[in-house]
């Protein structure tokens, strides 16, 4: 798995909890009891295949982790925000998948990938050149965020700024630096940042402010951001959040498009769910599938969090469904 992923597996939305970072930048939580209920019925045996597809989260188990520019309030000039908003307008999840494929699968650098995308999307067209100044764009320590940081560099350079992209590590390191103005811009993820800032601003027991709807998440995020000196551009349509994938062959065999389809057709003994060891207890993983969808797998395979083990289990027919990231570059292959 790539460092710093948002396979948060946290209690947000209907189940409130504070997000904390752990391991290689992942978020975590105290978890819940193991999901109640037992699998009944035959279920859906795994079907090997190369291409992975994400099942639609039609009942909104996950919260809205849309990519959004976070900006130190003192640096948030209108021309800077306008340039960053151009990046947001150019992105959606399929394009984010393609960017990640270019870096993680095709082995291009984030800088080259961003510049090629910016050229093809005519990203800098219409950006007004202002008075400029020096800007440091902070990037988390995983390739997707670095590519987004390079896209911000391209747009801000067109707006007249002298831009440096600096890899800073995980959110515990770069968020305080953003507050202090040591860095001025960071590509962020709406729900995850909202749940990071909320307990910091409102206390550990504060109700969650993230939601499946991006407008609600951004409303809460802007409120807590104002209190720590961080403002935001427009949220993009691109999301990097927990998702559940199957092989295309599995989806075709059982006529599945949504997680509701999976629950209605595949709850049962033959179905194998794969994910990280904590998945059975986490409200955004197996426990959430039980609570929101009444999906009961026949067995659980303890592997990794959306990494090569889980994806290999799908492709080789060892797992029916597995936790992945919605923007994983491998979703574009096969």
Q: Please, are residues 68 and 88 in contact by the beta-carbon 8 Å criterion?
A: yes
Return the residue matching tokens 């009961």. Answer: 296
Question: Residue 249: enclosing H or E segment and its boundaries?
Answer: helix 248-254
Confidence of residue 130 (pLDDT cuts 50, 70, 90): confident
Q: Which of 311, 333, 330 is nearest to 322 (CA)?
A: 311
Among residues 189, 209, 232, which one ends one of the domains? 232
Average pLDDT, the chain: 89
Task: Tell me the pLDDT tens digit for each residue of 279-329.
Answer: 999 999 999 999 999 999 999 999 999 999 999 999 999 999 999 999 999
CATH number of the domain bearing residue 127: 3.10.105
User: Within this chain, do residues 250 and 322 fall inside the same structural domain, yes or no?
Assistant: yes
Same domain, 260 and 296: yes
Q: Note the pLDDT tens digit of each residue in 139-183.
A: 999 999 999 999 999 999 999 999 999 999 899 999 999 999 999
Using only the alpha carbons of the chain, give its radius of gyration.
Answer: 20
Judge whether residue 33 has pLDDT over 90.
Answer: no
More confident call, 103 vs 22: 103
The pTM of this model reads 0.87
CA–CA separation, 64 and 110 (whole Å)? 24
Are 71 and 52 in the same domain? Answer: no
What whole-number percentage of the chain has pLDDT above 90? 85
CATH number at residue 290: 3.40.190.120
Query: CA 301: distance to chain centroid?
Result: 23
- Do 211 and 252 reside in the same domain of the chain? no
What is the C-alpha to C-alpha distance for residues 187 and 148, in angstroms, rounded to an integer? 6
pLDDT digits (tens, 9 = 90+) for 91-101: 999 999 999 99
Residue 91: CA count within 13 A, CB half-sphere: 31
Name the nearest CA neighbour of 188 among 3, 4, 1: 4
- Written as six digits, the tokens of 305 are 């969090």
Give the structural domain span for 55.
Answer: 32-62+242-332
Query: Total structural domains in the chain?
Result: 2
Q: Average of pLDDT values for 225-250? A: 97
Decide if 15 is inside a domain.
Answer: no
54 and 172 part of one domain: no
User: What is the percent of the chain with per-residue pLDDT over 70, rounded to a whole number?
Assistant: 87
The predicted structure's pLDDT at residue 18: 33
Please determine, for residue 32, whether its predicted confidence score (pLDDT) is greater than 50.
no
- Angle at which helices 190-202 and 171-180 cross, to 10°: 70
**How many Cα atoms within 13 Å fall on the side-chain side of residue 80?**
24
Residue 98's Cα: distance from chain center in Å? Answer: 15
The pLDDT tens digits of the residues spanning 226-237 come to 999 999 999 999
263 or 332: which carries more pLDDT confidence? Answer: 263
The pLDDT-based confidence of 26 (bands split at 50, 70, 90) is very low
Q: Any long-range contacts for 171-175 (C-beta under 8 Å, 24+ apart)?
A: 171/21, 171/25, 171/140, 171/196, 172/21, 174/138, 174/140
């Amino acid at each position: 798995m790539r460092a710093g992923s948002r396979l948060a597996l946290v209690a947000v939305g209907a189940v409130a909890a504070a997000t904390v970072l752990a391991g290689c930048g992942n978020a975590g939580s105290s978890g819940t009891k193991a999901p109640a209920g037992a699998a009944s019925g035959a279920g859906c045996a795994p079907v090997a295949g190369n291409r992975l597809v994400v099942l639609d989260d039609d009942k909104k188990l996950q919260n809205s982790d849309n990519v959004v520019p976070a900006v130190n309030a003192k640096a948030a000039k209108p021309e800077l925000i306008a340039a960053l908003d151009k990046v947001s307008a150019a992105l959606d999840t399929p394009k984010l998948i393609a960017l990640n494929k270019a870096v993680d699968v095709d082995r291009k650098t984030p800088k080259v990938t961003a510049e090629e995308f910016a050229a093809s999307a005519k990203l800098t067209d219409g950006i007004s050149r202002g008075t400029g100044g020096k800007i440091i764009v902070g990037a988390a320590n995983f390739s997707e965020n670095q590519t987004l940081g390079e896209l911000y560099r391209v747009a801000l350079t067109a707006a007249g700024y002298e831009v440096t992209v600096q890899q800073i590590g995980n959110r515990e390191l770069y968020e305080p630096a953003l507050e202090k103005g040591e860095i001025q811009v960071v590509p962020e993820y709406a729900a995850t940042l909202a749940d990071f800032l909320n307990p910091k601003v409102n206390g550990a027991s504060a109700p969650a402010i993230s939601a499946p709807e991006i407008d609600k998440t951004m409303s809460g995020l802007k409120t807590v951001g104002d209190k720590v000196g961080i403002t935001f551009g427009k949220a993009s349509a691109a999301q990097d959040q927990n998702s559940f994938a199957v092989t295309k062959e599995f989806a075709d065999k059982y006529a599945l498009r949504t997680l509701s389809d999976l629950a209605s057709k595949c709850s049962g003994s033959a179905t194998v769910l794969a994910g990280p060891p904590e998945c059975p207890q986490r409200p955004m993983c197996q426990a959430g599938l039980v609570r929101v969808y009444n999906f009961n797998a026949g067995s659980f395979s303890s592997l990794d969090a959306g990494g090569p083990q889980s994806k290999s289990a799908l492709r080789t027919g060892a797992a029916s469904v597995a936790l992945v990231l919605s923007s994983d570059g491998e979703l574009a292959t096969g």
